Amino acid sequence: MSIVVLDFGGQYAHLIANRIRRLRVHAEIRSPETAVADLQDADGLILSGGPASVYDPEAPAYNPEILAMGKPILGLCYGHQLICHRLGGQVEMGETHEFGAAYLHVHKAEGVLAGLDVRERVWMSHRDHVAALPPGFAVLGATEDCPVAAMGDAERKIYGLQFHPEVTHTVRGMDILDNFAALCGAERNWTMERYTEQTIKRLQEQAKGRNVFLFVSGGVDSSVAFLLLNRALGTERVLGLHIDNGFMREGETAMVERLMKGAGLHNLEVVDASAEFLAATAGIADPEEKRRQIGEEFIRVRDRALAALALDPDEWLLGQGTLYTDTIESGGTENAAVIKTHHNRVGVIDQLLAEGKVVEPLDQLYKDEARTLGETLGLPHHLVWRHPFPGPGLAVRALCSDGPDSESADNGLAHETVAEAQKVAATFGLALDVLPLRSVGVQGDSRTYAHPAVVTGQREWKTLEALSTELTNNFPSINRVIYLLGPTPRPQQNIKAGYLTRDRLDLLRRADTISMEALERHGLMEEVTQMPTVLLPLSSDGVQESVVLRPIATSDFMTADFCPLPQAFLDDVCERLLALAGIEAVFYDITHKPPGTVEWE
């Protein structure tokens, strides 16, 4: 018995299952087209969000009989709109789009909202909204811009929420899901230990006597996957390979080797392939193309390593520390949009997956679950709680450009749009400019590739947060907002040509080290979940560049808050970065996720 999540392609579909499991209830992910007969054992159904509109001719296909099964149903975002649309209500495109924090005014604290206060902080990510209720439903809650943020039919136990209770930024979200699990009468017997046992059996069956070759970056994901594979198959059947791809942080490779062997994992080889990766990405500015080239070079390095070690590729499966966030952001489910292609989801790996030649022990888990699993397996606390580092490393933190006259500069923002955004900023007492480059974001379960806006003026975090939300909600061409830390006034900058070269990467490596050391020095490593340091090809003289600090707080990485850090830290890190030869400006990312992804690419 379990709660079944029907996946309409939302970025948070598997996060719903994650949260249900945290209530110790078994959860499964199924297609919306699943036959009713295959859902008879379910205690209840949750309809996920998704990037489509219910009135779109190409909306995801689903089995309409599911809504008539008589089981408790909870629709979230797209699922909420689908319930309304299917059962006789009306869904429309909203005049105001909501992405990020909002406040729910609870009209009726009953059903899934039982026990909630009159006003609750929730997390929105939508363009459409319910305009008219289906027969039998009542409005349970509303936000300032969404009159039907929660609805319910208590008799049929069918509820719809426009917001996302599954994300940590909906403060009482777990209470809402707990209420739904109680309405379903679901048993509460799921544990991480049980998951570990099931996964070990799955890995043994999948390997079928073959061995596993795993890339070990040193981050928590690959480290936990490496340990779990060793536990399932034995050290003689598992080989870890750490590749120095030229995109690592300072001293990273030596530290990875030390940490792995310190954890008792001696079946690890280290290869320096930095020259090959730099050659594969030379002259590339497009972020998706960079990721594809890096992912495919990983496979070429693997093949060379297998050959050098005289290992038969047919006897060795590829292991990966893929989390579900990697899969969903890469458009890895039927109805999901591509946000950014992760290096472990490029075409050649998709082909290996289809051939059954890839094992991914963590592919249904999120970062917080992977960390819990790591501690369950006995990994040292300091290794489990290291700041995450992306597989492509600094390659996705060094933005590239073909120069001021190129398409990547994208200076085509309408002057009217910039002028309107400047008027909004002025009402907050701040000046604004829109940068002539783009970054990746996520809004309404879809990918955006739009411009960051930079604001200057007096820093007050609540004001900056409010401005960031207003700009990204109302200007589709702006998906990220950054604040100038220094110098003041900001230099007159333009985009410059810049690629993945050793010189640029060394500059970013040094800036990253300065930033990380500052976090340590000020005792902020536990407060900040991750802080990418991003190199921007923005320059006043065509030589120097700029950096952005991107400190965030999150548990699952599907949503995140930017961290407002203390003045002492800001002064310290800004002074040290500006003293670094080659850096002329320091910015601070004040964008939540959504609408901005954690990494800029």
Looking up tokens 């520390």 gives: 321
Q: Which token pair is 177?
A: 């899901």
The residue among 123, 129, 127 whose CA lies nearest residue 163 is 123
The residue among 397, 348, 388, 385 whose CA lies nearest residue 247 is 397
Asked whether the beta carbons of 4 and 28 are under 8 A apart, the reply is yes
Residue 511: helix, strand or coil by DSSP? helix
Q: Which token pair is 137?
A: 């439903």
Q: Which amino acid is at 402?
A: D
Q: Which amino acid is at 492?
A: Q
Catalytic residue flag (residue 166) = yes
Catalytic residue among 14, 26, 77, 400: 77
Catalytic residue among 98, 120, 166, 465: 166
Asked whether the beta carbons of 33 and 62 are under 8 A apart, the reply is yes
Q: How many helices (H) and strands (E) does the chain have?
A: 16, 25
Catalytic residue among 14, 126, 129, 164: 164
Dmax (CA) for the chain in angstroms is 68
Q: What are phi and psi of 267, to 5 degrees?
A: -85, 60
Catalytic residue flag (residue 77) = yes
Residues in the chain: 601
Residue 263: helix, strand or coil by DSSP? coil
The residue among 96, 112, 99, 109 whose CA lies nearest residue 146 is 96
Asked whether the beta carbons of 587 and 548 are under 8 A apart, the reply is yes
Helix (H) / strand (E) element for 189: namely none
Torsion of CA 447, 448, 452, 458, to 10 degrees: -70
Task: Show Cβ contacts of residue 299 under 8 Å, excluding neighbours closer than 6 positions.
Answer: 318, 348, 349, 352
Q: What are phi and psi of 39, to 5 degrees?
A: -115, 5
Catalytic residues: 77, 164, 166
